[in-house]
Structures are given as structure tokens and as C-alpha cells.
Amino acid sequence: MIVKTVVSIIAYLVLAPLLGGLLAGLERKLSAKMQRRVGPPVLQPFYDVFKLFEKEKMAPTRFQDFYVLVFVVFVIASGVIFFAGGDLLLVIFTLTIATAFLVVAAYSSNSPYAETGAERELLAMMAYEPMVLLTAIGFYMYHGSFNVRDILGSDSMCFLPMIGIFIGWIFILTLKFRKSPFDLSMSHHAHQELVRGLTTEFVGRTMGLIELSHWYENVFLLGFVFLFFANGTAWGWVLGIVVAIVAYFVEVFIDNTFARMKWQFAFKSSWIIAVVLGMVNVFVLYLCF
């Protein structure tokens, strides 16, 4: 058991940035095709990150890099706990702490654009956290455990009994991935009103670490999608991986077909989804399981 856990952790630490960067490259290519452009090479995200690490180290304040480093450590720790088969609640709380440090890093720069992005990131957290917690509660009510290890070892697939929670999770992934229409805190394009929002004042190695942490984060967020289909069989694993990849590119499609909406809509819609789909699904699980 210990050997298997160690192997899982090492595999995550090594493979997650490779898979995350590859997904980012495929995302750019697909987005370009949807916009009738050629697009960059699939490996372009790796080239960009390597260039960021080669740039001169600069920071508006001496504390910013420390906050970003803590953010990166907690993001990676969240994924390590998840792939080690740990507690889902601990994964969620660790990731929340990580995001809080990123917000503090943005505030510390004293940039109006970064501060606006930080405020919107806090609003996004308020919007998606209820559904995130309900997802963990749903897994507990169906499997009787918060541990990823126990969920993976289950002999039944929870997708259909937790279909409402699954839809809610896919909905809030748009917020978690910071994609349109809910890319509230961070703009992909410098000509928009946010400039770069949350990451406006991050450059060089600092920005490279943030990009790397996003790759780690995206992989284990898709791991939650995989859990809905895990049933202890090979075909369950294959189905879970396929659905997770499809879910990612569904988010890319949404990102390219919707304009950014106001934070009020993001907040209201996320809470409505959490109440209507999440809480109702939890109530059904309470009655049936």
C-alpha cells in the first residue's frame, strides 16, 4: 500500500505538468481552429514557461514571490493528497488556502488591475465553493468515505446516482479553470479591461511558477471528474479518463463561444446550480443510501 501511494505521488509530480502543458497546447490549437487561425504549436506552452524561467527576476514588493511560492506549494500539495488517496475535504481546504495566498500576492503588488483581479477571484471563490463542498459530501454519502482510495476501490459507479452533482461540478469547472463566461479575475488578452487582472504584476519565474501550478491544478480537478466513473474495473478507469478529457475540451468550447459575464451572474448561477442540483442530489442520496 505504501509503495503504491509513493508511486502515485511521484507519477503525479512528474506527469501532471507534462499532461497539463499538453492539454494547454491542444487547447490553444483547438481555439485557433475555432477562430479560423493556424494557432501555435502544441508544445508552445512549454516553450513559454521555459522562456519565463529564463527572464530576469522582478517583483514590485519583496513579499510577492513568497506568497506565490506558498501558493504553488499548496496547489501541488492538494494534488499529492488527492493522488495519494487522501481525504477529499483536506484536498479542498488545501486548494482554498492556495488560492487565498495567490489573492494576497496580487494585493501585495499595489496595482489597481491586480487588486481588481484579486477581488474578483474572491467573488469566484464564493461562487464555486458551495458546489465543491457538496461534491465532496455527495461522494461521502454514496461511498461512506471521503478518502479517494476508498472511492477508487468501490465496486459501483456513482455517476448516475450523483448526476446532479456531476453537472454542477462541470458547471463550476468553468470558474475553476477561469474560462469565459466566468473568467472574472484573469484575462487571456492584454487589451481587455482587466489587462491581465490577477497576474498583471507577475513576471519571469514568478509567472512561470503560476503557469506550472495551473497545470498541476487542472489535472487533479479533472481527477474529480474521473472519480464519478471509478468502479474498480479497467473499463471504469478508461471511461473516467475519456470523460475527463472530453469535459476539459467542453470547457474550451464554452470559453470560445461565450463572452465574459458580470460577477453577479456568476455568483447567482453558481449558487442556484448548487441548491437545485447539488443539494437536491444530496437529499436523494440521503433517502436512498
pLDDT digits (tens, 9 = 90+) for 38-93: 888 999 999 999 998 888 777 777 788 899 999 999 999 999 999 999 999 999 99
pLDDT of 83 reads 95
Give the residue numbers spanning the domain of 46.
Answer: 2-288
Count of the separate structural domains present in the chain: 1
Provide the terminal-to-terminal Cα distance of the chain, rounded to the nearest Å: 29
Name the pTM for this structure: 0.93
pLDDT digits (tens, 9 = 90+) for 116-152: 888 889 999 999 999 999 999 999 999 999 999 999 9
* Site of grid cell 487533479: 220
Decide which of 129 and 192 is more confident: 129
Average pLDDT rounded to a whole number, residues 29-40: 87
| pLDDT-derived band at 2, boundaries 50, 70, 90 | confident
Q: Which long-range contacts (CB under 8 A, 24 or more apart) does 72-75 make?
A: 72/98, 72/209, 72/210, 72/212, 72/213, 73/98, 74/98, 74/101, 75/213, 75/216, 75/217
Residue 282, pLDDT above cutoff 80: yes
